[in-house]
C-alpha cells in the first residue's frame, strides 16, 4: 500500500511542479519527477534543518524538489 501512496504523491507533486514550471510532460514523467523531486526536496529540507511531516509536508517537499529538478534539467539542456 505504501508504494501506491508514494506513486500517487509523486504524481501529484510532479503534476504541480509541471504546472508551476510550465513543462508539458506526460503522466509517467510527472510521476518520476515527483518521486525524484521528493527525494531531492527531503534532502534539501533536511540540510536546511526544516522538518515537515505528514501528507502536506510530503507534497510541499516533493513539489519544491521537482521544481528544482525541472530547473536544473532546463539549465543542462541549454
Residue that has been written with the C-alpha cell 502536506 in this structure: 56
Which grid cell is 12?
501529484
In tens, the pLDDT along 18-45 reads 888 887 777 788 778 888 888 888 888 8
d(CA 22, CA 54): 27
Domain tally for the chain?
Answer: 1
Q: Are 68 and 41 in contact (CB under 8 A)?
A: yes
CA-wise closest residue to 68 among 27, 31, 29, 14: 14
Range of the domain at 68: 2-77
Q: Are 14 and 25 in contact (CB under 8 A)?
A: yes
Which pLDDT does position 28 carry in this prediction? Answer: 81
pLDDT exceeds cutoff 70 at 70 = yes
Amino acid at each position: 500500500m505504501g508504494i501506491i501512496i508514494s506513486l500517487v504523491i509523486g504524481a501529484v507533486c510532479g503534476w504541480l511542479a509541471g504546472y508551476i514550471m510550465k513543462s508539458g510532460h506526460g503522466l509517467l514523467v510527472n510521476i518520476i519527477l515527483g518521486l525524484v523531486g521528493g527525494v531531492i526536496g527531503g534532502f534539501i529540507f533536511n540540510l536546511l534543518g526544516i522538518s515537515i511531516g505528514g501528507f502536506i509536508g510530503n507534497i510541499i517537499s516533493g513539489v519544491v524538489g521537482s521544481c528544482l529538478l525541472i530547473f536544473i534539467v532546463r539549465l543542462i539542456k541549454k
